[in-house]
Amino acid sequence: MEKIKVLVADDEEEIRKLFISLSKVYPEIEVVGVAKNGEEAVKLNKILNPDVILMDLHMPGTNGIEAIQKIMTSHPKPIIVISGFLDKTKLYSRLKSLLVGAIDVVEKPFSIETIAKKIKLFSEIKISKSFPQNKTNKKFKIVAIGASTGGPEVIRKILQPLPANFPLYIVIAQHISKGDFDKLLVDYLRNNLNLKVELAKEGKRLKKGIVYLAPAERHLEIGSKGEFILKNDYQYFPTPSIDLLFQSVAKIFGEKTIGILLTGMGEDGVKGLKAIKEAGGYTIAQDKNSCVVFGMPKRAIELGIVDKVLPPVQISRMLLNYSKINEY
């Protein structure tokens, strides 16, 4: 069996020795390189091509966060952050910073068993490059998201790290039950996001800094002036229709659109994502491992209309790269 290659980046000698000893207990894991700072980690990553990187945040010279950014825009790898500076009260903001590339974070002290399990898990994940920092929101104007089963929690994970002044419009079609569930979803997201959250209302126009959700039992389209158009078109099911929203966004915003298709059964959203792709927009599908139901994304991937297949944390990181917000 081929061994899992691990690169260690930590300025503490004891920690480095501990990780090097991993292979004695877990022969399937091999530490192929050791870096004492971020700059060395970036260089060794290119040379050694590891399967997983264990990265300390606080190192002399180029720190962990800077190294993560460089790695993820050149030779991306699954990066597990190992740090002893994670104040529990500031964990949220710290994790938001780590979304520039880290796939997980482990606080010191830790068990070697925990590290080994994470190495094995993340070694199977294929990481895509970050959007280069010079490709900013000059190109994109809107993010359109479609989701079904399991969607609310994934939407939270993707949007939670975004700042209140995120510069792109955000619209969402989430399949939802009748009743007040759409209002409950709005309340849930409001309590967990920096951005404002509202149900789309007929005739109102898109504004930045607000996440707009299609209301239950209504289909949402975007008009030529950025206004909301609500429809009761029962030939489209389920509601709200992801296809209708995506197609209208593609028609109005074209190549300035980022389309994201998340967890859910069936094929709703596939035609819409294709429309975004054909209009020159950028298309993303949620990966199988993080989906509750790998239906809609799977079909889009099979049709070859997806630019990137990513877990929620990576989707969030890509969106952050477009916000021009540097919080670390």
The count of other CB atoms within 10 Å of the CB of residue 133 is 13
Measured between alpha carbons, how far is 159 from 142 in angstroms, rounded to an integer?
14
Tokens standing for residue 313: 């944390």
Our answer to whether residue 268 is catalytic in this structure is yes
- Biggest CA pair distance of the chain: 65
Measured between alpha carbons, how far is 130 from 142 in angstroms, rounded to an integer?
18
CB 4 within 8 A of CB 28: yes
Which residue in 155, 190, 150 sits closest to 172, CA to CA?
155
Measured between alpha carbons, how far is 38 from 156 in angstroms, rounded to an integer?
31
β-bridge partners, 83: 107
The pair phi, psi for residue 64, each rounded to 5°, is -60, -45
**Active-site position among 83, 123, 130, 148:** 148
Which residue in 123, 126, 110, 124 sits closest to 30, CA to CA?
123
Our answer to whether residue 175 is catalytic in this structure is yes
Our answer to whether residue 56 is catalytic in this structure is no
**Active-site position among 10, 56, 83, 175:** 175
**Active-site position among 10, 11, 56, 268:** 268
Residues with catalytic roles: 148, 175, 268
